[in-house]
Structure 1
Amino acid sequence: MIRTFLRILPILLLPASAFAASSPVAVTAEGGDLRAQLPDGRVLRGAELVGVVLPFQGAELRVDAARPDDGARAGDVWLYRLSVRGTDGQWSESCEAGAQAMVFPGPAGAVRLTCSAGAIGTCIRLGYRPWASTAEGVALAPYHRACVNLLRSAEDKAARIEVYDRIGIRPAPAPDAVFDAGWTVEGPVCLADPGPRANDPQAEIALAIMAMTGRTGRDGCTEDRAAALGALVFNRIPAG
């Protein structure tokens, strides 16, 4: 059941200017890998950053652990355990229990931080790395945003959702899985099972438009129809 279409993405955006001039390091994200340049020109990355404290926006961020993400579909994704020093001087983990921090490059040299348990981090781990392109030169940033829209809009059935595409990042699931919807950077292009309308005026309007234009229900929303409407990623739900 689709509950809402677009939500604000919970990203901590660290602009390059956030690191004070007196800071002992300059921090960047190379893909999903955090890197820190020291005043002597040395560059620390990945596990070399464990124990380093990074100042930003008047606070301090400490790297407690770092490892490559063995579950990711590409080798340039890392998982970090980061702690933030509070005003009382105590350190607390930046992500909820069981989740780990992830980084990726933002605009103008910024570093974006997110947590592995959220839609943003999950879509990166599924293979939709927003900084990367396919071997054929297809940028993955729009696919990442479409994937995030999908997961954010279907939290009630997220554990059963099977995400796939037509560019070779994730193959289609078993044919007995039931097609559900196709997604773009703006939201769903059609809904095979719209369910009750979300308590959201914009979502209700979008559903009404799709219904009036024949883009809901099993006949109005098939994978081929969604692809023709511009969908980048698709999802199915296992039968039963």
Structure 2
Amino acid sequence: MKSVMRKPVLAGLCLVLAGPAFAGEPSTPTQKKPSPGLTVAPLSEAERYARRCQGRAPDRAVWPQGTMLWGTRRAWGDRQEPDERRSVLVSVDLAPLMPVSPEVPSLRLVGGRLVAAPEASRSLVGTVLQGTSSDGKPVEVAVCGAEPSPGDPEVVWYRIEAWNPLARRWENPCVGTSQTPDPRALAVSGVWDAGGAHQAVEGKLTLACENGAITKCISWGYKPWASHDGHSLAELHQACTRMARADYCGNGLSHTRQDTPIDMYDRLGVLAPTTERSAAWDPERASFEATWAADGASCLARTRDRRALETILRECPGRFQAGQEVELGNGDRCTVQRAGVSPGAALLRNRVY
């Protein structure tokens, strides 16, 4: 496995501060919403599948990125759920609900790409997968495009659509932002629960959207299927998903604000601290925030959204203990420690303005 490139990475993280804004659909007449109590005629399975991957861009919320784990919508309705631990799509099955051809009875995951089994050379575009939402309800997901990542044969970006049972149409379940208005998804092994914990579940995977922490951490260099100097990056990737969302307690709740720049660096040397000043980052303005493990922060000096450390202690009582300042090296010091965990053993650290 080739080594991950050593370089510093800066990331802007955002908190959803307002309700969604909606963009019109220029190429399609405006669809009237059904009146309350009006029954919409059900579609047959053949009619439903015939409508997938038609290239229509339905109205979608455009949110800033930051608190999202999966990068997906929280609910199908116009009013989005306030709980960031909800998602319309948290996992999909490797066994297709409707394969693209009879010769593709199942799929397998190789690195960051899906491969048809046993006919590995066959295209997967048009395949319908059985997915599941955070509330356990089934959701159908269509693979509408597969775009290999330039210069990285391990990664394929997928354009997906999920069946919206309320609007009765196929929609991109991924939340768009101004920087990435039409996000794609990566296929990642295992599933994440509402608390942000990763679990290996046989026969299931995650289609993680482009603007969510799971995919962001892969883009920053922490590929969970890869290794660096003989060390697996799976646990480092999981620690990154906690760090990206400022999930201090490891309970799935984030504590970040819009457009907060951060600098991350890790024990394996995949990413190093940024030491040179640029238009994007000024090391002199930054201060150490926390060390991170797969289940959340292990040592804290401050919070990203500037709330008092005492609020974090109350959010997860018994997890942290305040005490004498601990010197971690390179100017990093923390005052709140995870009980029974050595701060120096952390996988990942970060600084923030």
TM range (shorter): 0.7 to 0.9
Normalised TM-score (structure 1): 0.73
| In the alignment, structure 1 residue 203 sits paired with structure 2 residue 316 | yes
Q: Higher mean Cα deviation, 6-15 or 108-117? A: 6-15
Gap runs ≥5 in structure 1: none
Distance 1:9 1:200, change over 3 A: farther
Secondary structure of 2:231's partner? coil
| In the alignment, structure 1 residue 49 sits paired with structure 2 residue 124 | yes
Q: Distance in 2 between matches of 1:17 and 1:80?
A: 17
What are the equivalent positions in structure 2 for 1:136-151 lying under 5 Å apart? 136-151=229-244
Distance 1:237 1:201, change over 3 A: closer
| In the alignment, structure 1 residue 236 sits paired with structure 2 residue 340 | no
Distance 1:188 1:214, change over 3 A: same
Q: Which residue does the alignment assign to 2:110?
A: 30
Q: Match of 1:212, as an amino acid? A: G
Secondary structure of 2:154's partner? coil
| In the alignment, structure 1 residue 96 sits paired with structure 2 residue 207 | no
Distance 1:193 1:184, change over 3 A: same
Deviation at residue 9 of structure 1 after TM alignment: 8.9
Q: Which residue does the alignment assign to 2:289?
A: 180
Distance 1:55 1:191, change over 3 A: closer
Q: Distance in 2 between matches of 1:13 and 1:181?
A: 30
Conserved in 2, the CA contact under 8 Å of 1:65 and 1:80?
Answer: yes
Secondary structure of 2:239's partner? helix
Distance 1:16 1:236, change over 3 A: same
Gap runs ≥5 in structure 2: 1-14, 16-66, 70-83, 132-137, 191-199, 247-254, 276-282, 336-340
Q: Match of 2:129, as an amino acid? A: P
1:221 to 328, 334, 344: 334
Q: Distance in 2 between matches of 1:27 and 1:213?
A: 52
Q: Describe the superposition over 1:34-82 as per-residue Cα deviations: whole angstroms up to 9, x where unpaired.
A: 2223xxx42247xx333x2223256532222222345x9x542222110
CA RMSD of aligned residues (A): 3.7
Deviation at residue 92 of structure 1 after TM alignment: 0.8
Distance 1:237 1:126, change over 3 A: same
Distance 1:20 1:178, change over 3 A: same
Conserved in 2, the CA contact under 8 Å of 1:101 and 1:114?
Answer: yes
Q: Distance in 1 between matches of 2:332 and 2:113?
A: 44
Secondary structure of 1:155's partner? coil
Conserved in 1, the CA contact under 8 Å of 2:289 and 2:351?
Answer: yes
Distance 1:67 1:155, change over 3 A: farther
% identity of equivalent residues: 30
1:105 to 189, 197, 201: 189
**Between Structure 1 and Structure 2, which shows a larger proportion of helix residues?**
1
Q: Match of 1:116, as an amino acid? A: E
Q: Match of 1:203, as an amino acid? A: C
Deviation at residue 229 of structure 1 after TM alignment: 2.9
Conserved in 1, the CA contact under 8 Å of 2:94 and 2:129?
Answer: no
Q: Match of 1:123, as an amino acid? A: C
Q: Match of 2:143, as an amino acid? A: V
Aligned residues: 220
Q: Which residue does the alignment assign to 1:190?
A: 299
Deviation at residue 157 of structure 1 after TM alignment: 6.0
Secondary structure of 2:268's partner? coil
